[in-house]
Structure formats: structure tokens, C-alpha cells
A and B are shown apart, each in its own frame.
Chain A
Amino acid sequence: MREISTQVVVIGGGATGVGILRDLSMRGIPALLLEQGDLAHGTSSRFHGLLHSGGRYAVKDDKAAQECIEENIILKTIAAHCIEDTYGWFVFLKGDDPNYLELWLQGCDQVGIPVREVPLEEGFRLEPLLTRKAARIFEVPDATVDGFKLLWSNVKSAEKYGGTYQTYCKVQSLWLENGRVIGVYAEDLITGETLRVRSEIVVNAAGPWSAEIAAMSGFNVDVLKDKGSLLVFNQRLFNRVINRLRVPGDGDIFVPHQTVTVFGTTSHTVELPDDHQVDEQDITYLIELGQNLLEGIERQRIVRSFAGIRPLYESVEDQDQEGRGVSRNFVIIDHQKMDGVQGLVSILGGKLTTYRLMAEKVSDWVAAKLGVHTACRTAEEPLLNEQSAEVWDKARQLIGVAAADKMMERLNEQAGAVVEAIARQPLLGQFVCECEMVTQAEVIHALQDPAVNSLDDLRRQTRLGMGTCQGAYCSYRATPMIHEAFGGWERTVKEYRLLLAERWRGITPVLWGEQLRESELARALFLNVLDLKAEESEG
């Protein structure tokens, strides 16, 4: 058994976990993050991609609203490359409750969310697909945020300050001695090796898995696992976030995310932290609800569906509330106070928009315990340095503006080498994934990253396979590169199957119209021409 020691172990590679890793590292506190899968494979990528302005919580939950608007402003500065400042509209429909509208305007005013009313005519001109049932439109500083990019930027920044992380490393139990947590036992899922990590403090930031982590040592934390299902449309139907102005409910937000539109959600309490299965009834239900904001929604091509688990904190006052009623606030549980055991802290609840604030609060707590007095700097220091305009221009010349801009945002400081490679060998600039315009050079670069252990990891880093064709063409085009990186045909074919099975899982609930044609084409390609068989996904 290998033993490592560090000062802090962070469990969970979601937004909160990587935020804590970066914050602690910037304060000079050695920390190691352990993640059972790939970064952002859970809630942090299974969401709308919405950077809240706080408007959604302005009436019911003024504390959450306040935190959202403050963090919204901070993140637009420190993580500009992960955010598209689209703005968002709250659309009040004919027949909606005017009292709620009044309360909403007051709520926004109180917490300082800037609201501008958009004249209807302008609204319909800017968003031609918006329902003509719209009676009033209000603009707020909502934006869209790329979870993958945000998480990777945090990790890369943390690494610069000495932070470390290991993916595919699953915590098996907490290491307890004399009423004190002094580390964790974990299994490296790639090598099968068991790891013992000694630390002064363990931070449980495992999101929907938090209860499981705490339960390893018999502690109880109340996490309500609330499943939300979402639909992905083939193209940007709107260019702004479109919310319905009413009591927050199901199916009332459209988010233009990169090249697609994400629409959701639903809310069901579930048992398992990885229950990502989308029910067919939920799809029908969502499409019905979507009609309210987008008439003819059923004619728009849906490429897939997915579900994520909101890890909501259920405080004693909230006990009789269902998913939507539970506060979006977060809470830090000091297990010394709760269970009399030192060295363990759990962070629960919250939202992606407030991940930095959550990380700050946890890091403050950890720093205090360790007697470190360095202040938090994550609200001021950008996640990245400015990109060199020279590299950016060169990339645009080589592969075109659309592809270059997306690639530069993804690769950031590592872009130089990839651009150089394309300049040397122009054919490396051809797209492996044409839908999302991912170059061969970028794929090769990503495959060299030790954190990329599967085709599915590659997808999360590059967006390969996330476009219209859902992996039908890019996955086989990536063959020689995967073969080179992972070695062996058996492994290569297995990677294919896993990726296709994962894509297929998202497509099957929405299998009609154009996506059905696409799937038939893909099926002919893989099952007949390439003689592959689908395989159940493990994740």
C-alpha cells in the first residue's frame, strides 16, 4: 500500500472541490484532491450551464439571490473565458400572476440585481422564436458558463500554486484514529492500487455522494438527491438565457450553450447519487412545458437528454419540503460539533454559480484550523493570464475564427504548442470532430494529458462527440490517435463502445425525427460496416 501525506484532502472533483483546491493552494496550504471519476463528471457538468444572476431566487430565497449576483459579477471577471455574457430574460406571459411580477421586481431591487425592461418589439426582433404570448420582458445579467472549462481552469491554476489532484481514485473509507480523522483510504481505479493518504483535515465536497462519504464512518449528513432532467437542442434557438417569470418550477429555462440550447428541468427525489437515467415521461412533460416559451418546440431537433443530481441540503426547517422548496443556500458542517470527530468538514448544498464563495468559506474554516492567516484571493485573481494575441491570431489564420476561438478558450496557456504543431503540419489542423470543430492537433494534445483515461474523458476536455452527430463520425476518425495513446485494439474498441453506449443512453429517450435518421445512419455505420456491438456504460 502506497502512503502519501499532505495537509488537506479534498474529496470530490466537482466545482466546489476544485474551487477549494485552488483556494487552499493559493493560501500556501498543501492539498490533494481525490476524484472517483473524471473531473466534472457529476453535477458540475450535468446542469443548464447557467450562471445565475440571482433573478430566479429573488422572491423566495433572497440570501441565495444575493450570493448569486455577487458571484456572477466576480466570475465574469475572474473566469471570463469560461463565460459567455449572453444576459438573460425573464419573460412574463399573458395570464401569469401579476403579484409575482411585483414581488420579483422588488426582490431584484432589494438584492441589487440590475433589471432593464425590454420593449416587446425589440424582444421579438432579437429572439424571433420567443412566444408571442410574452407580455413583458426583463433583462438581467444571467450568463452561460462552461462547467468543464471552469473546472479545468481551477485545477490548472491550483497546480501552479502546488495543488495536486488525482482522478479515477475512489475514497474507500475515512482513516479514523482516536476520534480524529487523519486521512483517507482510496483505490486507484486505473491501477487497482490502494492508497493511504495522511492529512490534517479532510474536506468532504462530494456533492450527491457526500452522504455516502460521511456514512463510511457512520456519520449522517442530510443530502436531498434531487434529479433534474434536461434536453439538448441541436442549435442555438435563443441567444439569451430565457426564464419564465413566475414561481420557479419545472421546464422554465432555456440556455444557449456554445452551439446548442439546453432546456430544463424537472425535479424528483432519488436514492442513488448517480441515477442519471432520463425517464420518457419527463421528456414529454418538458416538451409540453417548453411550449409556453417556445411554440413549436416539438419541431426543433433534440440531440440528446441528460440528467444531473442536485445535492440539496435539507436543514431541519426544510424537512417537509420537496426539491423545489429546499433552499439553494449552502452549509458547512463541522463534524466536531455534529459528531464529536475532529478533522472532517462537509460542504453541502449551493449552486455552481456560488462555487467560489463556497470554496472561500470552507478554505477560511480550514485555514483557521491550521492557523494560516493568508486571506482569500480567489475573488480578485483571474483563473488565467491574458492570452497572447499573436498565438490567437495565428490560430484563427490556420483553422478559421470559429474553431480557433473555441480551441483557444479550452486550451488557454497550452494553446501555443498546439497552434505551433498545426503551423508545422497543416494537416493536423483538420477537424476530427467536425460538428464541434475539434482539430486533430488538439485531440493528440489532450490524449497526452495523464488525466485523460478514456474516450469519454477526451470528450469532456475537447467537446469531441458532443455535436449534432453525437459521435457517429468523430469517434472512428479518432481511432488511430486513441490506438496510439491507449494501445491495443481491444482497448480502442472498448473505448468506442463505452462512448457510443454513453451517447446512446442520452439519445434513446428522444429518438424521433432527424435524430432518429442520424442514429440509423450511425447504427448502420457501427453495427454493420464496422461490426461493433454496443456495451453497457459503467458510469
Chain B
Amino acid sequence: MSLTPENKRLFAHLLRRAGLGATRVEVERLCNGTYEAAVEELLYPELHPNMDDDLIRRYHVDQNSLMLIESSQANWLYKLVNSRSPLEEKMALFWHGLFATAYGKLNHAKAVVNQIDMFRQFGLGNLRAILLELSKDPAMIFWLDNKDNKMGAPNENYGRELLELFSMGIGQYTEEDVQNCARSFTGWSIRNAEYMSRRAERDSIWPYGRLDWQFEYIPQNHDDGVKTFLGQTGRFNGEDILDMICSSPATARFICEKLYRYFVSDAIDERSVDELARVFLKCHGDIRQVLRELFNSDYFKSIHNIRSKVMSPIELVVQTCRLAESHQFPDWTIVLTAMDVNFMGQEILNPPTVEGWHTGSEWIETGSLVERLNASTKEISNSSHPGIRSIIDFVRSYGPTIEPETLVHSCLEAMAVYDMPSKTIETLVEYASKWGNLSFARPDSIPCSEQRVTELLQMIVSTREYQMA
């Protein structure tokens, strides 16, 4: 495909939604191929091996053990900013929001980090495999009390949420199904449950820090009796339950609606979701195939769905860092940047409830909006960041003297913002005109001109459009 404005807008949209933000260089590279090829590149993250994390662990000793929530949040932010497999990370965020597991109850940050690693490994695969890993995930077992789910004394927390929040949705099953789902997962526990529970209750990090949790199946705690689930009867265990869940049209509809809301629009289009659900059932829950259908669809590419979703705090911060090329090498300030995400209302690894975060326009409120603007402008105004230097150099390539209108257009181009409404552009040009033309002709004018560029960048990241994906 060629570098037409329409193509650049479309590829930038794909990178914002299926990736972690668009940069000019990435968009122009992808424009050399077809849109379908770009989708395939995103769908196969294993083609782009991720960076070795030795540097971050070496300089941030606390991120080697990930004992603390702040360290763990900063560690994930570093991976998001530097990942060469953006869809893998984006899916990890998706599953983290859907299967929300919070540090707050666990008091064990690395357990949640391990769960995120599992989402990276399985997140683009088959839903049954994902749910099986989730059911064995120690953080989830602890979070929804399945370690206490034993024959004769079932704990229904996990069984209920598996059906209600993680797969089928309320109204698709009976109370008896919940009870028998829970019975089927009896005995799915963690090793050394008593010791680990006592440590978690007391938030004990002694004597030598946290110990990872491990899954353990305890046969004597498993209820092997006859159960009826979704109209079928047998001596079911957890894996049988997952088979039935994953072949249910309700699950297909539920998961596809979640994917549609996450990648396409907060407003559901029933026909599009139905079509996705058909694909889901046909491919037996292969998430990669469902996403291929979604990203190549007309509704995904529709102009109505471009810049229509409010970016989550983590998406906004990661996009801006990738644009600025900040935090490419370990430095202690990444902890502060991770805290900015918290202040905007999204504590990654510590969602507020099992329902995850309320998204869409609910990300925006008076306080969080100020935090969003402050964090974005702080990151984009630092001309020592390589990405900002590149933007300045790009602007300077337009000549020694640059008119305000050219300045605005070159900055938008450099930031891969190809769809700014004309009214907003007029406002930006008006702002840029306050001090006349920009000059790089004389050495003594360069610092001032560079500052004017970064001030304009601050204005751009403060626009409504930049804050939308």
C-alpha cells in the first residue's frame, strides 16, 4: 500500500487498537505492505522475540524479585514500553481486565505477574487452554478462594465467577450449574496452602521475602460424585466443565462481545458480535482467528470507530512513552511514571474488584483528566528523549524557517496523528502563530524554536483526539 493519508490513518488506527500506539516510523514501514500483512504480523508475536529483561533486573534489584507492587507495576510498564510484540501485551491487558486478579487481597505481587506471563503465553491461543491455565493459576486460586473448595465443603467463588464474569455471562446457567461447577473444581489448590495462607493473611515477607505459589491437585479433596452441568450428567472434573463452557454459544457471544468492546467500540453492534461468535464456534475458540476476523472487518476499519474510544490510563502512558522513546533503558523514574497511571485511576496488577475496571468514558473525571494531561505533557516535553529529538529533527527538515501552519502539520505527521479535525488544527495553528514563524536559521534561535516545538507537542497531547484511540 502507498503512503496516502487514508492508508496512514488506517495503519495508525490498527497500531493504536491492536498495538500499543502508533509512531510515524512504524506506520510508514507497515504502509510498504498490505493491511492484511500488518494484521498477521501483529497476530504472531513469536516472530518478534521480546527483549531480554536482564538490564531491568540488574539495575532495579527490586524488580528481580518483584516482591513489591510498585516494582511490579514499573516492571510491566517497562515491558509495555519496550515490547516488540504489542498485541501480546495488549491481550495480556485484555485478559487482566477480564479475569481481574488483584494484589490487594493476595499480598503477593509476583503471583499476579506470573498470571500476566501466563496471559502472554496463552492469550492468543484457544480459550479452553486459557481457562484451564486460569483455573490452575495460583493467584486466581487464591483470589477466588478455590484453595478452600473441598469435597463436602465447597467454596463456590471461583465456580460462580468462572460462569458469570469469565465465560458465559449471567442468565446463561442455573444455580445448580454453579454448585456443580464448583464441585468439579474441588481439590484444585496450591501447594503448602496453610503456610502460604498464613503468610498472606499477615502480609508476611519474612524471613527471606515471598515464595512463589504452585498449583497442586489434591485428589482426596476432589468431589468425584455425579454432577449435572448445562444439562449433561456425569462424574465431571474441572476440565470437563471447561469443555462444556467453551462449546457453549453463550460463551462465544460473551467473549466476542468483550473483544468487540475492547478493540472496536464501547457501543455494541449486535450483528458484528454475532458474526464474531460464529467464527469463534467454528474455530473452537481460537482467539487468534477471532481477532483476524475482527481486525480485517469493515466495522473495525470504519471511520466511525476511529478515535472513538477513550484510551485507558495505561494505554495513554505507554503510547506517549513509545512516542517519546522514554524509558528505553532502565532508570529509576519509571516508578514515578507507573505511579502516574495509578493516579489516573488504573492500578495495573491491582484492579478494584473481580469485575475489573469500568472503562470508556468512565476513565474521564475531573481529577483523572488533570492527571492524564499532566502525565502526557510531562513525557512529551522532555527534549532529551530520543523520540522527541526525532520529532524536532523531523520538523527541522521542513527548512530553516517554518510557518505556524507547517509547524502544526509537521508535528502531527511526526506524531502519527493523521486524523486531527480541521477545527482542532485551526486552534493549534492559532496557538503556534502567537510567536510568528519558527526559525532554525541562527544557532541562537534553535533552543527557543525547539522549546516552541515541545510546547506545541504538549498542546497536541492535550487534545481530545490524542486521548482517544
**Are A and B physically bound partners?**
no
